[in-house]
Every structure is written in structure tokens, then in C-alpha cells.
Homo-oligomer: A and B are copies of this chain.
Amino acid sequence: MNHSAQTKPDYERELRRAGVRITRPRRVILDILAATEDHPDAMEIFQRASTIDKSISLSTVYRTMKLLEGMGAIHRHAFEGGPARFEQASGDHHDHLIDLDTGDVIEFHSNRIEELQDEIARELGYEIVHHRLELYGRRRKASARK
């Protein structure tokens, strides 16, 4: 079926280990997530799933996403106005730059920023559990280069 197992985490194994049943709907959704490079929302996942198995319901997509999120297998993002979007948790931590014109999501990471965040939290007497850094912008016009 699919060859390159490299970037695709073995969710089934993880789920089994967590003691959850591997049902047909879950298998379909898991396959979709494993093959996904972007940040789809529940409806998109539902639609992709429907092309494989018409009987899968949107509720099951939501329930499965919640399950996977609880296991730490995926991350849920709530970008400005709009439904939650999901992505595999397998890769390294990163933040997001959202293209306001296209809705594209670009990932980036800055150790320096993370350090500064920790520092700030510490100074305020807090310990960061998680954070959210989203940049909303638009492509710079070529002429505006400097």
C-alpha cells in the first residue's frame, strides 16, 4: 500500500498500546493523517475519509481527533476565525506563519524566541506548559525588498 514508512508514525501500534480498538473508521482516518502534509480541519479530513468509506461520520472524525490529541499524537491549532486544524505531532516543535491572502501555513522555529519566552515566564513567576505563536502576514512585494 504505502512504502515510505519513514515520515509516517505507526499510529496503529501506538493506539493498540494505549488499549484502544483499531476500528475501520479509525484506520481510515489514521491513514489520511499519516499521508497528510498540510493542516486540514475536521471537515477536510471527513471529506477525504468519505472518499474511502462513505459511512464514516463527522462525529467519528471529531472523536478520533480528540482521542489522538489526548494521546499527544496530533496537535490542534485554532488559527484566527475558522475551524480547528490538525497536524501530526511527530515532527519537531514549530510555530506558524499564516498567509492572510491564501491561508497557507508556513512552519518555522526559533530557539532564541523560545528561550526568551521561558525567561519572561520565569521572571513573572510562571512555568510555561505550552505556548502559541502565530504570525499573520502577507508576501512582501518584490519591489519592497530592502
What is the interface size of chain A, counting residues whose CB is below 8 A from a CB of the partner? Answer: 33
Question: Is A52 an interface residue when CB atoms closer than 8 A count as contact?
Answer: no
- List the B side residues contacting A113 at CB < 8 Å: 113, 116-117
User: Interface segment, A6-14, A31-39, A60-68, A123-131?
Assistant: A123-131
Interface residues of A in 117-139 (CB under 8 A from B): 117, 120-122, 124-139
Show 17 residue pairs from A and B whose CB-CB distance is below 8 angstroms, ordered by the A residue.
A78-B80, A99-B126, A108-B124, A110-B116, A117-B133, A122-B140, A126-B140, A127-B137, A127-B139, A127-B144, A128-B136, A129-B136, A131-B133, A132-B133, A132-B134, A133-B133, A133-B134
